[in-house]
Amino acid sequence: MATASASSPFLKPFALRYSVGSSPGRQRRHTLPASEFRNLSLQDAISVFEIEREAFISVSGECPLHMDEVRHFLELCPELSLGWFEEGRLVAFVIGSGWDKEKLSQDALTIHVPDAPTVHIHVLAVHHKCRQQGKGSIILWRYLQYLRCLAMVKRAVLMCEDFLIPFYQKAGFKDIGPSGVAVGPLTFTEMEYTLGGGAYLRRNSGC
């Protein structure tokens, strides 16, 4: 899979500027990486899984990715992940992998296809202390724009439960019907986003 340049505008940190000193003449200005978007690494796996487990176990009883699967994808295709860090701490993330078929199948849950035209989004999660702040829609927007920088990628697909369909539709995903994949008693709808045309602008939601 082609890797986006480090100069990609969607991986640049936001800077927080502040002043210190006892008088205006002695104040100094500093720049800190208050908010940073970057690809995840194996070193982030524990933080990723802790956020994911809290987000999904309480709702559905299942995690999209177990710890060994998180490590698996962060080792195989870290360029298809995106983490949002505030003052060095992970607050939200997306993990994807390459896929080369029209529809998702059971194999898509564990396989990464290099240089594939489709990215399968496995999981998007936000730290429980950071929810209801629009972070879910913001990191999804950033991720989709980041994928536009990867020359091989033409679309993103995912499967979700029915209550999440409106959230992904607001992001520009289209419902393409019931998924052929089931996890235990859970069934899903497959959603597709074509990486072309105008960028998604609705950055705020309740997610």
- End-to-end CA distance of the chain, in Å? 29
CB 83 within 8 A of CB 98: no
Cα angle, residue 76 at apex, residues 74 and 80 outer, rounded to 5°: 65
Q: At the fourth CATH level, which superfamily is domain 35-194?
A: Gcn5-related N-acetyltransferase (GNAT) (3.40.630.30)
How do the pLDDT tens digits run along the chain, 207 residues long? 433 444 455 565 443 333 333 344 444 444 545 889 999 999 999 999 999 999 886 655 677 899 999 999 999 999 999 999 999 999 999 999 999 999 999 999 999 999 999 999 999 999 989 888 999 999 999 999 999 999 999 999 999 999 999 999 999 999 999 999 988 888 999 999 999 644 444 343 334
Give the residue extent of every domain in the chain: 35-194
Tell me, yes or no, if the pTM score tops 0.75: yes
Q: Give 205: exposed, middle or buried? Use CB within 10 Å, 0-12, 13-18, 19+.
A: middle
pLDDT at 200: 42
